[in-house]
Amino acid sequence: MSPRLDLALQSGLVLSQPLTIIGPTPANDLSSLSRNTQVVQPFKPFHDHFADQGFVVTPQSQDQCQDAIVILPRAKALARSHVQQACTRACGVIVVDGAKTDGVDSLLKEIRKRTDVEGPISKAHGKIFWFRGAPNAFDDWAAPQTQMADGYQTAPGVFSADGVDPASTLLVNTLPDKIGARVADLGAGWGFLSASLIQKTGLRHLHLVEADHIALTCAQTNVTDERALFHWADAVKWNAPEALDTVVMNPPFHTSRSAEPELGQGFIKSAARNLAKHGDLWMVANRHLPYEATLTESFARVEEVSGDARFKVFHASRPRR
């Protein structure tokens, strides 16, 4: 699974089934583990990656298990929540594996204050350590039932969890009053854009497409109109059930620490594929990201209609087939 886990197993760590792994990514090789191992992964592309390998995968689970492994995410509040979830589920060993850049050192110090830790083992710019089940020692690390950002419900670890993203605000302020009857918000997050779109004149169907199951659950709380349709899906691969009049989006540009402009480029191609011939794309992006070429390849007409020093808003129309 990782050089750190291999070394820990050689150094006395013993894992028993049923086993749960919380938060692995495709960078984690699980091929040596039993396919009965439950994988908890709310991000749809990663979820599908492990499902294709035959694992039992769920976006969120309260199933009890013997042992659990936590792969640290970048967000500190989410990492704490994952540790608390593992302690709630597992009655045996809880293993924590993470990179230094993801805060494993500080988390180790915090956990040592609450329970006895075995290991730790340092390797490959990270650490792995484990401790015996401590069901109530981390109750205060549970994700809050309600985390609010500017009046909206969010959750630890989702994009823009602490407040409305300024790029999305810029896009909302640029949109016309009428945007069509059939609309999609690609990468809808916790629903800020859609909460504005649902108020537009003439709208009949609003598709919220989001890969993060946790964010989509928040969106279902923030956008309660019956015209809203929720899709837990990879926006790059998603196929609309109907040709769309408009796509609106503030696409992500990384799944790791480094920028991945091909993500946003994939969103643009998906928008063009799902739009009707007369359809429109409204999109905001960080100014440094190279989206102009993909927009021009995908649409007959492209113009930058708004922006500032940090962001740019595009209106593209007449998708190319």
pLDDT at residue 255, rounded to an integer: 57
- pTM for this one? 0.91
Residue 258 has a pLDDT of: 55
Q: What is the pLDDT of residue 146?
A: 76
DSSP 100: G
Cis status, amide bond into 120, omega within 30 of 0: yes
Distance of alpha carbon 79 from the chain centroid: 14
Q: Which residues pair with 231 in a beta bridge?
A: 209
Domains of the chain, first to last: 3-141 (3.40.50.150), 147-319 (3.40.50.150)
For position 95, what pLDDT does the model report? 97
Q: H-type helices in 14-57, by residue range?
A: 44-52
Q: Each residue's pLDDT tens digit in the chain (321 positions)?
A: 678 988 898 888 999 999 999 999 999 988 888 899 999 999 999 999 999 999 999 998 778 999 999 999 988 999 999 999 999 999 999 999 999 999 999 999 999 999 999 999 999 999 999 999 877 889 999 988 778 878 899 999 899 988 999 999 999 999 999 999 999 999 999 999 999 999 999 999 999 999 999 999 999 999 999 999 999 999 999 999 999 999 999 998 755 555 578 999 999 999 999 999 999 999 999 999 999 999 999 999 999 999 999 999 999 999 997
Tokens of 151: 């009046």
Cα distance between residue 67 and residue 135, in whole Å = 12
Burial code (b: 16+ CB inside 10 Å, e: under 16) for 49-72 equals bbeeeebbbbbebeeebbbbbbbb
Distance between CA atoms of 306 and 237, rounded to whole angstroms? 28
Give the pLDDT confidence score for residue 144 in this predicted structure.
Answer: 82
Q: Which residues pair with 149 in a beta bridge?
A: 152
In the three-class reduction of DSSP (H, G, I as helix; E, B as strand; rest coil), residue 133 is classed as coil
